[in-house]
């Protein structure tokens, strides 16, 4: 009977990644979620293949104030037009998307690592550790989030690393709260008692017994947070606290050109605004679809 | 109940003090930096040192912290470095302006969000629900700075109905408030609406709703008397938390429309290191946030008989 | 169909309810789930009909179908439901609404969930007559008040102003019953109304229901999985299997002359008082209930039936047939071979087993105490810092258990059974006293500090099948991990080998090693739990209500399995349960607990015969027995279990005791009286007096052929 199919699971538990992929595969049940996933996938592909698909150098000043569809002097077309400095907006959106996605992903994953560790520890050990962690989470969460970002970035200066730092600082408490709640719930299950009575250590229990069972709410939350971090990075750019120019950044593009919206060149600011909204919409729809699917099961 | 209220208020004070300490450390942790921002970039080291001693910045940070708390409590917020005036003279006007903007937005947003949320959650999975859900997800995906330019394009450039800035240079003007309120509401209502929907939908699947149905009560009666009461408990907390989010959005929106509120003031101060203004704005923002959150928590316990009559 | 045994059907009145050919389905993403197939049922005026069957066979669906309330994804696919002669399908939404709660009322399993948490009980009661009959508020209040009194609620006035969470489970259920009766319905549907309650509380509710149905003249459809309860409430019963009725008839004829192999099987699974784990073991039904969309062709029970005949039973759908007996012309059965089967042979289980020889003492519990500190957060305590009150979850627990012995710990919720298990396992440490396993005191060693040998020698089987296995890992991994941890094997191939052997032991296919828990049924999960507990060759296994969440037929199989493995390994088994029938059946010795204290202790024979502790006596009487010939003395306890936070000062049982001698019971803890060496009773009543008490249960003198 010992066939190869029964071999693998005995030695090691299913990885969380395998489970996550399975959860995403379920998305075909939710058209809305699938649509969101396609939007996100579209932007991810654009980001990966930016050098190939971007028609112009995003920082090159070619022809100022061109409307969408204008032909470029050296061949090619400004599909989305150019901005006041004559840079191709489509190329800037593509490269800006790459930047946003990169920083949003790194920042959110870092926030997740911190938040998960804190949440597991607080929810599993309880007691003073929990009270201390929860107190500081409450302190951070009681800042209006944009106020917190402005304060941090104004203090430490605007750079990619600092944005990541700010995102970790501002959003890991929220992640911690979710993980803590789920951990406290799962910790009361009999299978946790069973693992304790075979002498498993606390980190084995937290990481192998508890964490995989918290995956559905975490995956949903991760997508939402990716959207929110995208918004935040854009907002910082908009306020002039974002990634340093001249490399394109959606929020920065909007703020640089928004004066021209009422001056007859709306496309300069509106197209990056649409890009950011569309990517966020993708994340939100994906999160919603995943939630719907996970509830059905 | 009374001890619960006391505990929450105690917690609130503790959080406020910690937040204040954080703000203080961030801004006044290094006396030389303060001296530098007050005296300007060309001041000599000796001048800085003299200033530090003269203003008591050579003392221990905790002593200064306690002193500062005392000053703030007595209403003295210090002097603005940029404006060279007491912070009090600028700050309260700005806060008042933000109060108007946030207040109007809050009322509009809550009405829209609760109505749509209840309508969607009442019949989970229906077309009505799906339309409302997709609509609210879409609007929540448009950040304030994006909708600011989109709406400006539509209402200012294309239609010419509304003014493009809200700096209120010639006195208070309701028309100038419309766009900022729209921007804030559009982005903010979706979250409350979705929470309300989820709460309502959850309540509708509860066995006690089945009991009410099988008691033969009319549908309206079930919604109004049995469902809403339970369904609105959870969103209440969310609504109070929303004020925190609103303050966040205010920073971006005020910047976008040149509205003279406290968000714009904070941004300006942060960019130009106007220390006492930063402290005043930060403290005020957190105070409002913590205060409303405490109300939210207490309201939750009050609305929920399972906790109220323990 | 005439029914001479039914009440009030003589006048030729139309039946209250007439269901024929009813088909009900749910629509899921996997497709249509035909939950109920061709369901027929007639209920005469004043008659109480029981609907019995295992979980998932469609009982609740039938009740919901009658109410025309099938939820979002359910639908009525075919058949007719006539209520008082009117076809329900022809009524408009508005007319149905007026029937609901007025003419047909329903009572549910979870009273707490069925009541709205944020409305007072008064508000929830009063709206019934106000909406259905348009009475004034005063009158509605008066009627509600009277109805609460009628369902024996001691202080209706206080209760009216309470919120549901402020009253106990038993009282909540009485409120739900009162709510159902307020508009004097013609038909009451009761869906497992006592399943969520403690046995002694259940006994009170069942008595109330039986009384009310007689007084009010309402017809009853009583849904339950418990055949014993049917006997106390119903005139007629329908046995359901996989969406259809397989046997129906008068209660006496079903219990005395069951004709369907499934009905036989059910009786064989129930530990009746004369069952015995050695001489007459339970006969579990093999296999499990098929899922609605995986029903076999022909007879749905075919794959599990011992009398299955290929070619006949798996050909066409089996129709209902009349069983022409003189006593009960309404007895019908859905089996082709009902008159070919040797009904005597079906029941008796031939296998007998040698009794286990009890060896040396393995486990000694000596004056063990476990107190929990409960923090209080009043302002006063916040300042004074004396915020702790103690809950005495276990108070001086003493007993011992030998090798191969089964000791049962019985009691209702909150009696401290699970705390005791936790202390033993090291998930909590004892406050005082010792728990010695092979001479070493483990009571003070928490689980983190135990050696692998100590851990391995004491393992546990948990109650809730859905909670016992980690949903994220495969069965094989979870068993294998134990083997690895306890250092029994370390080589992956050998671990796998052992996992397979363990799966063999618990009679599961080896391929299950690769499965995730959600692909297993409840009984299968419990088996994996047992395999896991026995993976490290433990000396002692604690089973905390291992079968209480399972269906009878599955429970019987799991019980037998547990005992087989125990016998083979000569394991000491601590069987924690609230179910006296199971306890009587499988244990050698019994410890009866109430509110953290031992009330009575002794061998099974001693505990189940006089002298009884008054609590044991009440408990025995409360347990429903699915055998009409067993005579039972009825004792219904008043009141509810006191809160463990606030136990009575003297005897813990004094607030409810039916034999309370006076204020001495309230004030002084009772002495522990020794009847024989191992049999002790903690009560103020002298043993001589307790010996005079009549036995609660009288089993008729019968030989092994039993039910014929
Ligand atoms: N809402 C639903 N959607 C899909 N299938 C359902 C739904 N409700 C019940 N079922 C299925 O219909 C069948 C009958 O369920 P039902 O609840 O009527 O059984 P039951 O006899 O009342 O069981 P129990 O004793 O557990 O209450 C089961 O197979 C069940 O899984
Ligand atoms: S019809 Fe056949 S398979 Fe079905 S119960 Fe009767 S004997 Fe068993
Ligand atoms: S001591 Fe009194 S109250 Fe307790 S069981 Fe005996 S008679 Fe009943
Ligand atoms: Mg049911």
Task: Tell me the pLDDT tens digit for each residue of C333-370.
Answer: 999 888 888 776 655 556 777 777 888 888 999 889 88
Residues C651, C682: Cα–Cα separation, whole Å: 9
A31 within some domain: yes
Res. C197 pLDDT band, cuts 50 70 90: confident
Enumerate the residues of chain A whose CB falls inside 8 A of the CB of residue C474: 9-10, 13-14
In a domain, A26, yes or no: yes
CB contact under 8 A, B2 and C131: no
Task: Specify if A76 maps to a domain.
Answer: no
- What ipTM is given for this predicted complex? 0.87
Q: Which residues of chain C neighbour A7 with C-beta distances below 8 Å?
A: 496
- Separation CA C224–CA C552 (nearest Å): 12
Q: Rounded CA gap, B284 and A25, in Å?
A: 47
Q: How close A57 gets to chain B, by Cα (Å)?
A: 24
The three-state secondary structure class of C1 is coil
Does some domain include residue A124?
Answer: yes
**Residue C662 DSSP symbol:** S
Which chains does C contact via 3+ CB–CB distances below 8 A? Answer: A, B
Task: Find the C583 Cα to ligand 3 centroid distance in Å.
Answer: 23
Closest residue by Cα to residue C429 from C368, C486, C375 = C368
Q: Which range among B106-110, B161-165, B212-216, C610-614 shows the weakest confidence by mean pLDDT?
A: B161-165
Q: How far is B303 from chain C (nearest CA, A)?
A: 8
- Give the model confidence (pLDDT) of C148-195 as tens digits: 988 888 888 888 999 998 888 888 999 999 999 888 899 999 999 988
User: Chain-centre distance of CA C333, in angstroms?
Assistant: 26
CA of C666 to the centre of ligand 3 (A): 9
A231 touches B at CB < 8 Å: yes
Contact call for residues B216 and C102 (beta carbons, < 8 A): yes
Atom of ligand 1 nearest to the CA of C58: 18
- Asked if C19 and C42 count as a contact pair (C-beta separation under 8 A), the reply is yes
User: Do residues B220 and C97 lie in contact, with contact meaning Cβ atoms separated by under 8 Å?
Assistant: no
Mean of pLDDT over chain C: 86
Q: How far is B234 from chain C (nearest CA, A)?
A: 13
Reported residue count of chain B is 310
Q: Which two tokens stand for residue C508?
A: 């599961």
Q: What is the mean pLDDT of residues C70-78?
A: 86
Question: How far B208 CA sits from the closest chain C CA (Å)?
Answer: 4
**Treating both helix axes as pointing N-terminal to C-terminal, what angle do B144-151 and A215-238 enclose, rounded to 10 degrees?**
50
Which atom belonging to ligand 2 lies closest to the Cα atom of C338?
Answer: 6
Mean pLDDT throughout B88-107? Answer: 90
Write the residue in A2, A190, A296 that is nearest to C464 by C-beta.
A190
Is A10 in Cβ contact with C477 (below 8 Å)?
Answer: yes
Poorest-confidence range of C202-206, C271-275, C315-319? C271-275
Residues 466..485 of C with a Cβ closer than 8 Å to A: which?
Answer: 467-474, 476-478, 480-482, 485
Q: Which residues of A touch C485 (CB under 8 A)?
A: 198-200
Alpha helices by DSSP H, B29-161:
31-39, 45-54, 61-73, 87-122, 127-140, 144-151
Interface membership of C324 toward A (CB under 8 Å): no
Q: In this structure, is residue A102 part of a structural domain?
A: yes
Residues with CB under 6 A from ligand 3: C 614, 651, 653-654, 657, 659-661, 665, 670, 683-685
Contacts of C166 in chain B (CB under 8 A): 309
Q: Are A11 and C452 a contacting pair at CB < 8 A?
A: no
Instruction: Write the CB contacts of B99 (distance below 8 Å, at least 6 apart in sequence).
Output: none
Domain that residue A172 falls in: 22-63+81-296
Task: Among B134-138, B293-297, C51-55, C594-598, name the one with the lowest average pLDDT.
Answer: B293-297
Q: Token pair of C423, please?
A: 């202390």
pLDDT on residue A14 = 56
Q: Residue A285, class by beta-carbon neighbours within 10 Å (0-12 exposed, 13-18 middle, 19+ buried)?
A: buried
Q: Does C511 touch chain A (CB under 8 A)?
A: yes
Q: What is the pLDDT of residue B286?
A: 87
The pLDDT value recorded for residue A167 is: 92
**Hey, which residues does C42 pair with through a beta bridge?**
C18
CB-defined contacts A:C, below 8 A: 104
Q: At what angle do helices B275-303 and B233-257 cross, to 10 degrees?
A: 160
Select from C464, C473, C514 the Cβ nearest to the Cβ of A5: C514
Q: How far apart are CA A175 and CA C638, in angstroms?
A: 50
Looking at the DSSP bridge assignments, the partners of residue C601 are C591, C680
Strand ranges in chain B using DSSP code E only, listed in sequence order: none
**What is the distance in A from the centroid of ligand 1 to the CA of A190?**
25
Ligand 3 atom closest to Cα of C666? 3
C301 Cβ closer than 6 Å to some ligand 2 atom:
yes
Query: Is residue C521 scored above 90 in pLDDT?
Result: no
**Interface test mutation site (partner B, options C118, C165, C383, max chain B beta carbons within 10 A):** C118
Q: Report the residue among C335, C342, C345 best suited for mutation to probe ligand 2: largest number of ligand atoms under 8 A from its CB.
A: C335
Closest by Cβ to B266, choosing from A32, A150, A153: A150
Q: Is C402 in contact with C360 (CB distance < 8 Å)?
A: yes
Distance C617 CA to ligand 3 centre (A): 12
Collect the ranges in chain A with pLDDT lower than 50.
Answer: 1-11
| Residue C627: partners with Cβ closer than 8 Å, 6 or more residues away | C231, C255, C272, C273
Q: Is residue A229 part of a domain?
A: yes
Partners of residue B206 in chain C, C-beta under 8 Å:
113
pLDDT-derived band at B159 (thresholds 50, 70, 90) equals confident
Q: In this complex, which of B3, B124, B210 lies closest to C69 when CB atoms are compared?
A: B210
pLDDT one-digit tens code per residue, B176-220: 888 999 999 999 899 889 889 988 988 988 899 999 999 999 999
Cβ B153–A266 below 8 Å, yes or no? yes
First vs last C-alpha separation in chain B: 9
C701 pLDDT higher than 70 = no
Report the alpha-carbon distance of residue C470 to residue A192 in Å, rounded: 8
Nearest to B119 by CA among B131, B129, B109, B133: B129
| Separation CA C115–CA B215 (nearest Å) | 12
Helices and strands in chain C, H and E counts: 25, 26
Verify whether the Cβ–Cβ distance C514 to A198 is below 8 Å: no
A121 located within any domain? yes
Nearest CA in chain C to A216: C472
Place of tokens 């088994």: C573
Does residue A17 form part of some domain? Answer: no
**pLDDT tens per residue across span C563-618:** 889 988 999 999 999 888 889 998 999 999 998 899 999 999 999 988 999 999 99
DSSP class of residue A72 equals P
Nearest CA in chain A to B24: A151
CA–CA gap between residue C76 and residue C61 (Å, rounded): 10
Substitution candidate for ligand 2 out of C247, C318, C341 with most atoms within 8 A of CB = C318
* Sheet with strand C187-191: strands edge to edge: C104-107, C187-191, C219-224, C48-52, C236-241, C244-250, C332-333, C321-322
pLDDT computed for residue B167 by the predictor: 73
Taking the C-alpha atoms of A16, A17, A18 and A19 in order, what is their torsion angle to the nearest 10 degrees?
50
Residues C21 and C40 sit within 8 Å (Cβ to Cβ): yes
Q: Is C60 in the pocket of ligand 1 (CB under 6 A)?
A: yes
- Rounded to whole angstroms, the Cα distance separating B10 from C452 reads 47
Ligand 1 atom nearest to CA at C109: 27
> Ligand 1 pocket, C204 CB below 6 A?
no
Chain-chain contact of A288 with B293 (C-beta, under 8 angstroms):
no
Total domain count, chain A: 1
CB contact under 8 A, B145 and A270: no
What is the spatial distance between Cα C479 and Cα C474, in angstroms, rounded to a whole number? 9
Cα angle C590-C596-C600, degrees, rounded to a multiple of 5: 30
C29 and A296 in contact by Cβ < 8 A? yes
CA of B63 vs chain C CAs: smallest distance (Å): 29
Q: Is C704 a residue whose pLDDT tops 70?
A: no
Instruction: Give the orientation angle of helix B233-257 with respect to helix B87-122, to 10 degrees.
Output: 130
Phi, psi (5° rounding) for residue A209? -90, -35
> Which atom, in ligand 2's list, is nearest to the CA of C299?
4
The arithmetic mean of pLDDT across residues C527-539, rounded, is 91
Rounded to a whole number of angstroms, the distance from the CA of C328 to the nearest CA of chain A is: 47
CATH classification at residue A163: 1.10.3720.10
Query: What is the residue whose two structure tokens read 């207040």?
Result: B103
Q: Residue C53 Cα, ligand 4 centroid: separation in angstroms?
A: 10
Q: Which chains touch A (3 or more CB pairs under 8 A)?
A: B, C
Nearest protein CA to atom 14 of ligand 1, as residue? C58
A-chain residue closest to C538, CA distance: A198
pLDDT in tens, B26-73: 888 778 777 877 777 787 888 888 888 888 878 888 888 888 888 888
Single pTM value for the model: 0.85
Q: How far apart are CA B135 and CA B143, in angstroms?
A: 15
| Confidence at residue C379, expressed as pLDDT on a 0 to 100 scale | 46
Query: Using a CB-CB distance cutoff of 8 angstroms, which residues of chain B are in contact with residue C117?
Result: 208, 230, 305-306
Determine the Cα–Cα distance for residues B129 and B117; give it in Å rounded to an integer: 9
Other CB atoms within 10 Å distance of the CB of residue C265: 24
Q: Cβ(C71) to ligand 1 under 6 A?
A: yes
Q: How many helices (H) and strands (E) does chain A have?
A: 13, 2
Closest atom of ligand 1 to CA, residue C71: 1
């Amino acid at each position: 009977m010992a066939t190869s199919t029964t071999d693998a699971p005995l030695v090691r538990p299913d990885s969380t990644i395998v489970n996550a992929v399975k959860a995403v595969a379920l998305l075909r049940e939710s058209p809305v979620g699938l649509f969101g996933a396609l939007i996100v996938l579209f932007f991810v592909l654009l980001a990966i293949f930016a050098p190939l698909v971007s028609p112009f150098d995003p920082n090159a000043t070619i022809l100022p104030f061109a409307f969408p569809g204008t032909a470029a002097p050296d061949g090619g077309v400004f599909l989305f037009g150019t901005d006041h400095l004559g840079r191709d907006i489509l190329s800037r959106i593509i490269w800006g998307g790459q930047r946003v996605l990169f920083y949003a992903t790194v920042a959110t994953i870092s926030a997740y690592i911190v938040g998960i560790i804190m949440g597991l520890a607080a929810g599993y050990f309880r007691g003073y550790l929990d009270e201390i962690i929860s107190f500081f989470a409450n302190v951070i969460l009681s800042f209006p989030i944009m106020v917190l970002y402005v304060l941090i970035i104004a203090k430490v200066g605007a750079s990619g690393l600092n944005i990541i730092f700010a995102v970790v600082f501002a959003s890991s408490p929220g992640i911690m709260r979710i993980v803590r709640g789920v951990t406290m719930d799962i910790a009361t299950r009999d299978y946790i008692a069973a693992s304790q009575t075979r002498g498993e250590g606390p980190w084995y229990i937290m990481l192998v017994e508890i964490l995989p069972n918290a995956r559905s709410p975490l995956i949903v939350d991760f997508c939402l947070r990716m959207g929110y971090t995208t918004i935040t990075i854009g907002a910082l750019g908009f306020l002039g606290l974002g990634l340093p120019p001249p490399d394109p950044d959606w929020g920065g593009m909007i703020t640089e050109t928004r004066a021209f919206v009422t001056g007859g060149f709306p496309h300069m600011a509106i197209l990056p605004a649409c890009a950011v909204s569309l990517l966020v919409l993708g994340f939100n729809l994906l999160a919603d679809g995943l939630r719907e699917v996970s509830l059905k099961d | 109940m009374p001890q619960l209220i006391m505990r929450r208020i105690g917690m609130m004070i503790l959080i406020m003090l910690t937040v204040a300490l954080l703000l203080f450390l961030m801004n006044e942790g290094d006396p030389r930096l303060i001296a530098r921002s007050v005296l300007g970039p060309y001041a000599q080291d000796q001048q800085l040192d003299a200033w530090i001693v003269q203003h008591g910045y050579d003392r221990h940070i905790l002593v200064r912290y306690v002193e500062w708390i005392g000053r703030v409590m007595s209403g003295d917020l210090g002097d603005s470095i940029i404006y060279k005036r007491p912070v009090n003279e600028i700050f309260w006007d700005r806060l008042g302006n933000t109060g108007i903007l946030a207040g109007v937005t809050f009322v509009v947003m809550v009405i829209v969000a609760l109505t749509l949320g209840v309508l969607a959650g009442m019949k989970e999975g229906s077309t009505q629900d799906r339309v409302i859900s997709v609509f609210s997800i879409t609007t929540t995906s448009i950040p304030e700075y994006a909708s600011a330019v989109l709406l400006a394009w539509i209402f200012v450039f294309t239609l010419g109905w509304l003014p493009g800035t809200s700096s209120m240079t010639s006195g208070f003007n309701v028309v100038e408030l419309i766009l900022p309120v729209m921007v804030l509401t559009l982005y903010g209502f979706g979250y409350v609406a979705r929470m309300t929907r989820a709460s309502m939908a959850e309540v509708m699947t509860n066995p006690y709703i089945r009991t009410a149905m099988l008691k033969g009560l009319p549908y309206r009666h079930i919604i109004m008397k049995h469902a809403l009461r339970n369904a609105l408990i959870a969103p209440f907390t969310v609504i109070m938390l929303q004020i925190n989010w609103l303050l966040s959005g205010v920073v971006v929106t005020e910047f976008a429309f040149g509205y003279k509120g406290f968000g714009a003031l904070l941004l300006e101060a942060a960019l130009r290191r106007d220390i006492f203004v930063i402290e005043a704005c930060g403290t005020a923002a957190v105070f409002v946030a913590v205060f409303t959150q405490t109300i939210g928590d207490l309201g939750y316990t009050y609305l929920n008989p399972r906790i109220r009559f323990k | 169909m005439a029914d001479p045994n039914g009440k009030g059907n003589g006048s030729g009145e139309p039946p209250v309810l007439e269901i024929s050919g009813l088909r009900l389905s749910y629509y899921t993403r996997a497709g249509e789930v035909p939950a109920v197939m061709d369901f027929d049922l007639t209920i005469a005026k004043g008659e109480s009909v029981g609907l019995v069957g295992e979980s998932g066979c469609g009982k609740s669906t039938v009740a919901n179908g009658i109410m025309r309330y099938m939820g979002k994804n359910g639908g009525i696919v075919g058949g007719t439901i006539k209520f008082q002669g009117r076809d329900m399908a022809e009524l408009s939404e508005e007319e149905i609404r007026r029937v609901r709660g007025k003419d047909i009322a329903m009572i549910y399993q979870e009273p707490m969930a069925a009541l709205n948490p944020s409305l007072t009980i008064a508000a929830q009661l009063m709206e019934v007559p106000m909406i259905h009959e348009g009475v004034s508020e005063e009158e509605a209040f008066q009627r509600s008040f009277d109805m609460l009194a009628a369902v024996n609620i001691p202080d209706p006035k206080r209760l009216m102003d309470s919120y549901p969470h402020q009253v106990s489970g038993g009282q909540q259920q009485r409120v739900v019953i009162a709510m159902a009766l307020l508009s004097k319905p013609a038909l009451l549907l009761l869906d497992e109304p006592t399943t969520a309650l403690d046995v002694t509380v259940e006994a009170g509710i069942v008595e109330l229901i039986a009384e009310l149905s007689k007084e009010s003249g309402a017809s009853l459809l009583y849904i339950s999985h418990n055949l014993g309860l049917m006997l106390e409430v119903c005139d007629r019963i329908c046995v359901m299997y996989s969406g259809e009725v397989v046997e129906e008839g008068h209660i006496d004829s079903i219990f005395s002359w069951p004709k369907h192999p499934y009905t036989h099987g059910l009786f064989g699974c129930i530990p009746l008082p004369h069952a015995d784990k050695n001489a007459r073991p339970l006969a579990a039904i093999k296999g499990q209930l098929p899922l609605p969309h995986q029903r076999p062709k022909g007879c749905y029970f075919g794959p599990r039936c011992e009398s299955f005949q290929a070619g006949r039973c798996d050909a066409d759908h089996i129709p209902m047939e009349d069983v022409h007996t003189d006593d009960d012309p309404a007895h019908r059965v859905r089996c082709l071979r009902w008159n070919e089967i040797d009904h005597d042979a079906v029941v008796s289980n031939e296998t007998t087993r040698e009794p286990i020889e009890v060896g040396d003492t393995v486990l000694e519990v000596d004056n063990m105490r476990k107190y929990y500190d409960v923090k209080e957060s009043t302002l006063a305590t916040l300042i004074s810092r004396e915020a702790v009150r103690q809950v005495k979850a276990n108070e001086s627990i003493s007993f011992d258990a030998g090798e191969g012995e089964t000791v049962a710990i019985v009691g209702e919720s909150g009696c401290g059974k699970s705390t005791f298990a936790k202390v033993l396992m090291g998930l909590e440490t004892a406050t005082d006293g010792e728990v010695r396993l092979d001479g070493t005191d483990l009571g003070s060693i928490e689980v983190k500090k135990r050696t692998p040998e100590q851990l391995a020698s004491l393992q546990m089987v948990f109650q809730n099948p859905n909670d016992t296995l980690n949903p994220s890992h495969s069965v094989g991994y979870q068993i294998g991990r134990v083997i690895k941890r306890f250092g029994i094997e370390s080589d992956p191939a050998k671990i796998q080998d052992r996992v397979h052997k363990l799966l063999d032991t618990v009679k599961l296919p080896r391929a299950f090693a690769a499965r995730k828990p959600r692909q297993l049924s409840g009984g299968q999960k419990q088996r994996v739990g047992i395999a896991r507990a026995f993976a490290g060759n433990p000396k002692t296994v604690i089973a905390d209500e291992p079968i209480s969440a399972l269906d009878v037929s599955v429970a019987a199989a799991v019980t037998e399995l547990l005992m087989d493995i125990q016998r083979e390994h000569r394991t000491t088994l601590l069987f924690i349960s609230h179910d006296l029938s199971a306890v009587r059946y499988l244990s050698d010795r019994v410890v009866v607990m109430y509110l953290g204290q031992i009330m009575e202790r002794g061998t099974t024979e001693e505990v189940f015969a006089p002298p009884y502790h008054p609590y044991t006596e009440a408990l025995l009487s409360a347990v429903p027995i699915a055998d009409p010939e067993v005579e039972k003395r009825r004792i219904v306890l008043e009141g509810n279990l006191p809160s463990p936070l606030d136990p009575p000062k003297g005897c813990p049982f004094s607030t409810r005791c039916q034999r309370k001698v006076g204020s001495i019971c309230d004030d002084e803890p009772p002495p522990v009286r020794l009847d024989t060496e191992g049999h002790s009773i903690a009560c103020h009543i002298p043993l001589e007096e307790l010996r005079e008490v009549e036995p609660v249960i009288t089993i008729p003198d019968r030989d092994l052929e039993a039910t014929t």
